[in-house]
Chain A
Amino acid sequence: MLISLKNITHIYQQDKPVVALDNINLDIKKKEFIGLVGHTGSGKSTLVQLLNGLIKPTRGQVEIENVDITTGEVNLKKIRQKIGLVFQYPEHQLFEETVYEDVAFGPRNLNLAPEEIRKRVKDSLGLVEMDFSKFKDRSPFNLSGGQQRRVAIAGVLAMNPQVLILDEPSAGLDPRGRDQLINLLYHLHHELEMTIILISHRMEEIARLATRVIVMDHGKLVLNGTPAEVFAQREKLQQLALDLPQITEILYRLKKKGFNVRTDIFSISGAAREILNEIRRKNPC
């Protein structure tokens, strides 16, 4: 198993203890694309920080390729190279004078040969669709917000992680920036066969990308299944104050009004076809 969480409980000790994660058991296989959803404070960010050893659980084991990383003997630097984490608003962490230096920062710490570093910087800027020769010498601080976000993501990709975790990567991006990001994640998953864990409040993204959706509430896993299975739990999601993808919402409402349509379709053209077929069935002419 690539990632295995066993009986994880995490308690933040402030003025009074807060249970952030409550007895979590979860296995993630290679090449899965996990969509992690839940309202603010449900435990998503705590969960992903456990996975690369940024925090240690109060109780339980975090196993990466069957090695428990919560014991003292594990080299966390290696774990963090294997499991890349893109934080919320990662562009706030850009600090170097040029785009090149910023993306090269992680690989340099791996003591790689200069030509390997250069190759990695070039490849990862290519992945995020930033032209290498055009941008390498620019200051990251004179780029647009969307471009800064892509440079920050390139910095994590340059570590060649096996697993990529992203916490709300599309927040604040314009529609085109969001589409580019979705295409990037699709590419990383399908072509480069990376394992991806995506935290997002945008159910459209989750429905289009994820192979498995995990819903968290009050530190517990409350739903766990394919997008079709999870988004079929409409009442449950509403109780948790979560949205359905809008396309699913439309199909549900039509079904309620007597349309015989499937509700597990997440593409616009697929939904249109389904609706049209039903309308033609009803009024054959």
Chain B
Amino acid sequence: MQVPKGFIFAYALILGILYLILGFLELTEGFSIMFLPPDYHVDLLGSFIPGDLFGGFSTIVVGLVLIRPLLLSRKKYDALMYVLVGSALAVIFGVLYVLIGGANGLSAYMAGEKWIWTEDVFRFEVLLLPFSILLVPTSWSVIKSMMKGSD
């Protein structure tokens, strides 16, 4: 059964806004760490929103790609393609942070140090990964059927 287009757009919009807000907070934290004295460092929700300037920028890009269909005609393929690419980008970053977490664990093990796994796992990009993964096959199947219909 194919998921209705309207639902996909609404889902992508919510996810996109979430990525935009969290990405902005991540960017703000990263900026404060990089450019401000320690007393002025911003720390919001610990490792859930890490202070990462470029990571925050990338998250904002994911959010912007996901909400881009707002400015396009939703009858065409283009709008759904933005949803597909946006969700694929979100999956890439989610998987990347899972890999980095695993690498941190291995490094800590080799150095005989304690690995605080919660710092790697409980970051929002990883927690939002399942929600982004769902969007990839659903948007892809709708695009495929639309392309078949145009033949």
B and A form one assembly: no
**A residues with CB within 8 A of B:** none
